[in-house]
Amino acid sequence: MLPRSIRYGWLPAVILGALLRIYAQQADPSPNSNHPDNQSPLPTASTTASPKTVNGIAVCPGDWKSHVLPEGVYRVGGEVKQPQATSTPAATFSDESRNLLRERPNPTFDGKSQIALTVDSTGMPKDICVMKQAGYGLDKQAVKAVKQYRFKPATLNGKPVPVRIAVVVDFKLY
């Protein structure tokens, strides 16, 4: 007998395919119709939320990991090879975090800020936003450092392409 993961691994794909066929049948072929029942049920790049700003930094929308990407931007995987970091300057501690550490009797800290960005076809970071916050002003420092990152661009069939990736910026003090 086959393991359960192999026996039932096909089921989500079949259900997703059926749902997509149902949505395609329900969609109105006229693009100019503004009736709510005629709107496409699948999100498009124009309907996704843009990053909101909190304390001067862009925070990623909740649907960042969804399948919707701006046109021409890829995700790493399959034929798309990941970008290679060539320069990753370290992030510095913020004044707020330094003041917090001075108040502690045993000043140790271990925090992470997860940053989403698009690496364009020239290897420059664009559209930077914070996915998971470290707090204490460290996220602003992480974004500042990521803006200085440089990459060898991602490739698709040997040609450079823009990709959306996430990086983790560590803050450690022992």
More confident residue, 14 or 144: 144
CATH number of 43-173: 3.30.2420.10
Q: Which of 5-19, 43-57, 69-83, 126-140 has the lowest mean pLDDT?
A: 5-19
Q: What is the pLDDT of residues 24-45, one digit of tens each?
A: 333 333 333 333 333 223 333 4
Which sequence spans correspond to the domains of the chain? 1-42, 43-173
The three-state (H, E, C) secondary structure of the chain, written as one string? CCCHHHHCCCHHHHHHHHHHHHHHHHCCCCCCCCCHHHCCCCCCCCCCCCCEEECCEEECCCCCCCCCCCCCCEECECCEECCEEEECCCCCCCHHHHHHHHHCCCCCEEEEEEEEEEECCCCCEEEEEEEECCCCCHHHHHHHHHCCCEEECEEECCEEECEEEEEEEEEEEC
pLDDT at 51: 64
When pLDDT is averaged across residues 149-168 and rounded to a whole number, the result is 96
Q: What is the pLDDT of residues 99-127, one digit of tens each?
A: 888 888 887 888 899 999 999 999 999 99
